[in-house]
Amino acid sequence: MEGSTIRFPTPSSGSPLLDPFGRAITYLRISVTDRCDFRCVYCMSEDMSFLPKRDLLSLEELDRVCTAFVEQGVRKLRITGGEPLVRRDIMSLFRSLSRHLDTGALDELTVTTNGSQLARFAQELAACGVRRVNVSIDTLDPDKFRRITRWGDLSKVLQGLDAAQAAGLKVKINAVALKDVNEDEIESLMHWAHGRGMDLTLIEVMPLGEIDGLRVDQYLPLSTVRQRLEARYTLHDLPDRTGGPARYVQVAETGGRLGFITPLTHNFCESCNRVRLTCTGQLFMCLGQEDAADLRAPVRASQDNALLVQAINEAIARKPKGHDFIIDRNHARPAVGRHMSMTGG
């Protein structure tokens, strides 16, 4: 029942899932809702239609699927949305999944959020064993923040950052690089983040879902951004990986770490170790492909996990080598029809 702590048997960790290219799948991103209290211009239209609640996996079902992945060697779970912290009783899922941290079956339980609810939940997230959170902030200008997010309040997000750091959570800032919108703020964002002991990761716009306007008008190649930064700063490439697609540099002048997520200028598919579960139980083996496996049906067809495990293994066996993202005026339509809010940021 949603609202109470979910309890399932503790699994024993197995060997990693391997895809057809020998990559171990050790990272599952779980979109617990497609709903969000923002309407970011690069993510979704202002007038969105969201899924009926009856189509969503219950929190108990989400726990069951996550547990099945942990049993097969997944070591990192990231809770995403939409905005994950707007889902009712979401903390019961964090409390339940934290048992895998306690047993050592899971290395990390973390969350990506827009920060709007972080002041409310930071202490409880830390109590559940969450050690890192990613917070999306594309600008420090309150008016521009409102224009980008349409409904967002920057002051609430900054209060959330304060609460997260006070709770001992390590914070990484994610910023989508937007042409003629925030490209003149990247340096100031970097100094601000590094000054607070936070990493900053820059992300290229991704061609997912129909939006108001054209993404080609938003697209700023991070190769260009890096060249501009290198004219003023000393960037040292780092071997660091946090389980995701970012490539990191150390900025000598600030002492902080700067990440680049470049699905278009330099895709990261060769080292992909992750799959994505939607709130309706669809498993996407690649963010940039439409192929998905239905895990909701096997979850609801049987009380044991035999059908679910079979569906997971069959899905991983057809994980593609990579995506085919393109953004230009000859490819005005999104590469993938679903919005980012369906499969998580």
For 152-199, what is each residue's pLDDT tens digit?
999 999 999 999 999 999 999 999 998 888 999 999 999 999 999 999
337 contacts 290 by C-beta, under 8 angstroms? yes
Residues 163/167/172/175 CA torsion (nearest 10 deg): -10
82 is in an annotated binding site: yes
42 is in an annotated binding site: yes
Alpha-carbon distances, residue 254 vs 68, 138, 197 (angstroms) = 42, 19, 10
Which CATH number describes the domain made up of 17-343? 3.20.20.70
Q: Look at residue 8 and tell me whether its pLDDT is greater than 70.
A: no
4 is in an annotated binding site: no
Which residue did the predictor score with more confidence, 173 or 332? 173
Q: Look at residue 288 and tell me whether its pLDDT is greater than 80.
A: no
The mean pLDDT value of the chain amounts to 86
Whether the link from the prior residue into 197 is cis, omega within 30° of 0, is: no
136 is in an annotated binding site: yes
138 contacts 99 by C-beta, under 8 angstroms? no
The whole-model pTM stands at: 0.85
31 is in an annotated binding site: no
Alpha helices in the chain (DSSP H): 59-71, 90-103, 118-127, 142-149, 154-166, 186-195, 222-230, 296-301, 306-316, 340-343
Domain boundaries, the chain: 17-343
334 contacts 207 by C-beta, under 8 angstroms? yes
What values do phi and psi take at 4, rounded to 5?
-110, 160
116 contacts 154 by C-beta, under 8 angstroms? no
66 is in an annotated binding site: no
276 is in an annotated binding site: yes
196 is in an annotated binding site: no
